[in-house]
Structure 1
Amino acid sequence: MEKKWIGLIALLVAEAMNLLDATIVQVAAPVIHTDLGGRTADIQWFNAAYTLPFAALLITGGRLGDRFGRRRCFRIGVAVFVLASTACALASTSSLLIGFRAVQGAAAALVIPQTIGLIKTTFTGGALAKALGTIGPVMGLAGISGPLLGGVITEASSWRAVFLVNVPLGLAVLALSHLLPESASPQRIDLVGAVLLTGGTALIVYPILQSHAWYLLAPGAVLLGLCFLRKDLIEVSLFAHRGFAPALLTSALFFAVLSGVTLVVVLHQQLTLHHTVMRSGLVLMPWSAASGIASLLAGQWLVARLGSRLMYVGLGVLLAGLALVPYALLPALALGGTGVGLFTTSFFTEALHRVEPHQTGSAAGLLNAVQQFGGTLGVAVFGSVFLRHPQAIDRPVWVAAATIVVTVATAHLMRSRSSRRGRVGRVPVSTGR
């Protein structure tokens, strides 16, 4: 196997660690609270303490990679993530655990924006589409493994072992990361802009997690608006491409549905049908497995044949799956997962194919941050719709279907003229040269 493909494994494991860490802790959170004590609200903050700094620092993390080197920042982030995971496993109080989770989230914000940039640096042409196509299967496997590992490890050992899973994975990533090429696009770091961005993002995300604090949204929006006036923080030139802003909106809408629907399915299994945590996790297997397989097929063959038109196919298949959820859950999840896999590979190919090398970190950070916003918003909105009527799973599902219809329109706006004529289908992602 070529060194670049082995290096890709390191990037994929790092991506998987981020998803695993969130899903494993969701399952273990009630047991952690029972052991450590503290406020009932701490159960929510075991995850929120990770999500908040992760979302708030993603763009800054991408910018740091541009400035100081993507591989260097990737390795530093993974090392801190491993240390923070070890500290979480040793935490003696809920407050300490929440603090260490925040460090984990900040470290992940330094790691994740570098992955796409390093993939684009390592691969070109058709190999790039294939490399991007491997993300879906890995995320699907992590999505399947997270809830199951959380239940099995907590039951067989201790909740502390849940955090220790990251240690061998992180060390393996560090061992392989020397195979990755270093890349950077020297840029000045805007410290004032970074503070504005972090504060604004936190003020936007916090009310989504804590619904009593909606008054923070307005000042958060003002701070984020000021960020776009500071050209050294965000590559404003990204928005010269007419499709990039619609790509951000498309990402937010799609991942709101993705996170919201999976949450609703788990809540329906546990609260309405009174199934165990383990069984609830198994129910999501058709969704995750189908998503992984479809993403692999899309990256290997379909993007090259259909180009960005594959986005419409994926959204259509996902919409059909959502319509089937109230009537046949498992087939619906398999169909919906197929749509997710078809869409995600073609979406990232289209969203990033016009990005220049010096824009990569900023673009990856923005896309990841918007994805995180969308996912957090989806959990809040779809979860609230379901909890108001826990016997009626069809209500949040129809809201999700309507959101996908809007996503079709925003996806159309992000397509370039060349991709509409099928050229991007033949050369999925340009190298920026």
Structure 2
Amino acid sequence: MSQALTGEHAAERAAPPLHRWRWLALFVVLAAEIMDLLDALITTIAGPSIRAGIGGGESLVQWLGAGYTIAMASGLIVGGRLGDMFGRKRMFMIGAAGFTVASLLCAVAQSPEMLIGARLLQGLLGAVMLPQGLGVIKEIFPPKELGAAFGAFGPIMGLAAVGGPILAGWLVDANFFGIGWRMIFVINIPVGLLTMLGAARLFPASKRSTTTRLDLAGALLATLGTILMIYPLVQGREHGWPAWTFVGMAASLAVFAFFGWYESRRDRRGVATLVMPSLFGKRAFTGGLVAGLAFFSALVGFGLVFTLFVQLGLNYPPLKAGLASVPQALGMIVGFGIAGAGLSQKLGRTLIHIGTAITAAGFAVFMLVVDGPDVTVWTMAPATAIVGIGLGMAMAPFFDIVLAGVEEHETGSAAGTLTAVQQLGGALGVATLGTVFFSSLTSGFASAINAAVWVSLALLAASFALTFLLPMRARPED
């Protein structure tokens, strides 16, 4: 009997961190999310400096962001399935290690092509790392605490949104060790190593799925559809919008349609699929995908054109450009705080609608300010702060509502797919709004950014309408 008890106590000591350590495990997940968020933001701030230092055309600035997000979006679904197959802890650590090495390759790049290639690799390895985090959270937190766990993403990501542009601008201007913009990638190395150590100590050893095969053909189809959509958007303007750009974008829709048919066919045959078709029978999940695609396109695309406007149009140096984005980031923290004061569960979907409407109002005010005289950080601050408040309120309940109805065996596929669509939305936003901005420069910088903001408003309107597909809240009120 005592031996049995001893064995039980040993099992408890080796058990996943479901009690006192689960919040530390959450912090490790957040650290990985911060690395991803920072790497999506810092090249936006450092883009003009990178182009000046390493060469390349205007599209290089877009590819620094879009290349990363294309690779991320293409690999996330596979990354989620790899976590199901081989264990989330193991794949998280492999992804974190690869992300760290890819960051080093970015730092030593000697040409635009080498840098873009390293960014693609960074995105692919990040795609292995990130979906495991959402799965770990869902695994170690009981249902009644999941809302609080996902709610922790808000303030932390808000702080990253504040610190990311400032950090990038400071690192570029400070020129540590004489390496200039390269320092924005070097800083990932110690963070990546600490993330790996934290995961090794705190993450539970996840159960592996009985699935033994990976749907590589499905992964290739999803990647092909993404590339056919994004590449023409980024490169079309520089080539004068030849016919192949429109053919490519139309073909991407056909490839995605074929991908859906192919996955359903494999599922009917009982063969492993890249995306579990059962997910698309869940209203919250499908609604979240389409609404999130439009929402994150508007969010990330605006971030790019705003940074281009203040650096190229207002001639701000990188650090000042980073500081110009602080009001929006602080507004996001306020928005998450408002939502966290019990409103996410109480209002649910309605809070997403309110936040989206506030964001749109902020964009409208921003356009009025930019059209006025003496545009400065201070005159833009109220508008960008309103945008941030709306974004924070809309994002706070989003992931909880979308993932609430997902079964345990679907978690990896769901997390990978949802995050992939978020990244795809970012790539679409960068490609579309960046192209609109550069195409409108002949009329001046103010006209260029306002044209891009009009596209953001259209995307927000689409997201507002699509949010009605979501259930009212993640779970019934207690």
TM-score for both structures, normalised by structure 1 = 0.89
Is the CA contact (8 Å cut-off) linking 1:38 and 1:94 kept in structure 2?
Answer: yes
Q: Structure 2: how far apart are the matches of 1:41 and 1:349?
A: 36
User: For structure 1, which segment, 32-41 or 6-15, has the greater mean C-alpha deviation from structure 2 after superposition?
Assistant: 32-41
Is the CA contact (8 Å cut-off) linking 1:238 and 1:244 kept in structure 2?
Answer: yes
* 1:222 partnered with 2:247: no
Is the CA contact (8 Å cut-off) linking 1:134 and 1:299 kept in structure 2?
Answer: no
Structure 2 letter corresponding to 1:127: E
Q: Structure 2: how far apart are the matches of 1:90 and 1:195?
A: 29
- Of residues 55, 72, 76, the one that matches 2:73 is 55
Structure 2 letter corresponding to 1:138: I
Q: Structure 2: how far apart are the matches of 1:185 and 1:414?
A: 29
User: For structure 1, which segment, 298-307 or 235-244, has the greater mean C-alpha deviation from structure 2 after superposition?
Assistant: 298-307
Residue aligning to 2:460: 404
User: For structure 1, which segment, 78-87 or 306-315, has the greater mean C-alpha deviation from structure 2 after superposition?
Assistant: 306-315
User: For structure 1, which segment, 39-48 or 62-71, has the greater mean C-alpha deviation from structure 2 after superposition?
Assistant: 39-48
- CA-to-partner distance for each residue in 1:293-321, whole Å, 9 max, x for gaps? 32244245222332332212212222222
Q: Structure 2: how far apart are the matches of 1:56 and 1:65?
A: 16
- Of residues 309, 315, 318, the one that matches 1:277 is 318
Is the CA contact (8 Å cut-off) linking 2:24 and 2:202 kept in structure 1?
Answer: yes
Residue aligning to 2:203: 180
Which runs of structure 2 are paired with 1:356-395 in the superposition (5 Å)? 356-387=407-438, 388=440, 389=443, 390-392=445-447, 393-395=449-451
* 1:197 partnered with 2:222: yes
- Quote the offset at 1:225 in angstroms: 2.3
Residue aligning to 1:84: 102
- CA-to-partner distance for each residue in 1:187-231, whole Å, 9 max, x for gaps? 342122222222222222222322253432233333322322223
Q: Structure 2: how far apart are the matches of 1:151 and 1:262?
A: 15
Is the CA contact (8 Å cut-off) linking 1:351 and 1:414 kept in structure 2?
Answer: yes
Q: Structure 2: how far apart are the matches of 1:56 and 1:426?
A: 37
* Cα RMSD (Å): 2.4
Is the CA contact (8 Å cut-off) linking 1:130 and 1:300 kept in structure 2?
Answer: no
- CA-to-partner distance for each residue in 1:111-142, whole Å, 9 max, x for gaps? 12222111111212342111111212222222
- Quote the offset at 1:39 in angstroms: 6.4
Q: Structure 2: how far apart are the matches of 1:198 and 1:165?
A: 29
CA gap of 1:100–1:260, structure 2 versus 1, over 3 A, is closer
Structure 1 letter corresponding to 2:254: V
Q: Structure 2: how far apart are the matches of 1:341 and 1:425?
A: 23
Q: Structure 2: how far apart are the matches of 1:406 and 1:39?
A: 32
- Of residues 235, 248, 251, the one that matches 1:210 is 235
- Quote the offset at 1:34 in angstroms: 4.3
Residue aligning to 1:169: 191
Query: How many residues are aligned here?
Result: 422
Which runs of structure 2 are paired with 1:409-424 in the superposition (5 Å)? 409-415=465-471, 419=473, 424=475
CA gap of 1:43–1:244, structure 2 versus 1, over 3 A, is closer
Residue aligning to 1:354: 405
CA gap of 1:408–1:87, structure 2 versus 1, over 3 A, is closer
- Quote the offset at 1:17 in angstroms: 0.5
User: For structure 1, which segment, 401-410 or 62-71, has the greater mean C-alpha deviation from structure 2 after superposition?
Assistant: 401-410
User: For structure 1, which segment, 26-35 or 368-377, has the greater mean C-alpha deviation from structure 2 after superposition?
Assistant: 26-35
Is the CA contact (8 Å cut-off) linking 2:75 and 2:127 kept in structure 1?
Answer: yes
Residue aligning to 2:15: none
Q: Structure 2: how far apart are the matches of 1:255 and 1:42?
A: 21
- CA-to-partner distance for each residue in 1:321-379, whole Å, 9 max, x for gaps? 22322245311221221111111121111111111111112212221222122222222
Q: Structure 2: how far apart are the matches of 1:365 and 1:88?
A: 25
User: For structure 1, which segment, 103-112 or 190-199, has the greater mean C-alpha deviation from structure 2 after superposition?
Assistant: 190-199
- Of residues 346, 356, 364, the one that matches 1:315 is 356
Is the CA contact (8 Å cut-off) linking 1:62 and 1:113 kept in structure 2?
Answer: yes
* 1:72 partnered with 2:90: yes
Is the CA contact (8 Å cut-off) linking 1:132 and 1:299 kept in structure 2?
Answer: no
Which has more radius of gyration?
2
User: For structure 1, which segment, 360-369 or 246-255, has the greater mean C-alpha deviation from structure 2 after superposition?
Assistant: 360-369
Structure 2 letter corresponding to 1:223: V
Structure 2 letter corresponding to 1:347: F
Q: Structure 2: how far apart are the matches of 1:144 and 1:116?
A: 23
Percent identity, aligned pairs only?
39
Is the CA contact (8 Å cut-off) linking 2:173 and 2:319 kept in structure 1?
Answer: no
Q: Structure 2: how far apart are the matches of 1:394 and 1:31?
A: 24
Q: Structure 2: how far apart are the matches of 1:331 and 1:38?
A: 35
* 1:133 partnered with 2:189: no
CA gap of 1:409–1:40, structure 2 versus 1, over 3 A, is closer
- Of residues 333, 338, 343, the one that matches 1:292 is 333
TM-score for both structures, normalised by structure 2 = 0.81
CA gap of 1:97–1:401, structure 2 versus 1, over 3 A, is closer
Q: What is the SS of the residue equivalent to 1:115?
A: helix
Is the CA contact (8 Å cut-off) linking 1:244 and 1:351 kept in structure 2?
Answer: yes
- Of residues 302, 307, 313, the one that matches 1:266 is 307
CA gap of 1:280–1:147, structure 2 versus 1, over 3 A, is same
Structure 2 letter corresponding to 1:168: P
- Quote the offset at 1:107 in angstroms: 0.3
Structure 2 unaligned regions, length at least 5:
1-18, 268-272, 370-378
- Of residues 164, 169, 172, the one that matches 1:154 is 172
Q: Structure 2: how far apart are the matches of 1:59 and 1:405?
A: 27
Q: What is the SS of the residue equivalent to 2:315?
A: coil
- Of residues 291, 299, 307, the one that matches 1:250 is 291
Residue aligning to 2:132: 114
* 1:12 partnered with 2:30: yes
User: For structure 1, which segment, 38-47 or 341-350, has the greater mean C-alpha deviation from structure 2 after superposition?
Assistant: 38-47
Q: What is the SS of the residue equivalent to 2:397?
A: helix
CA gap of 1:311–1:52, structure 2 versus 1, over 3 A, is closer
Residue aligning to 2:4: none
Q: Structure 1: how far apart are the matches of 2:101 and 2:76?
A: 20
Q: What is the SS of the residue equivalent to 2:105?
A: helix
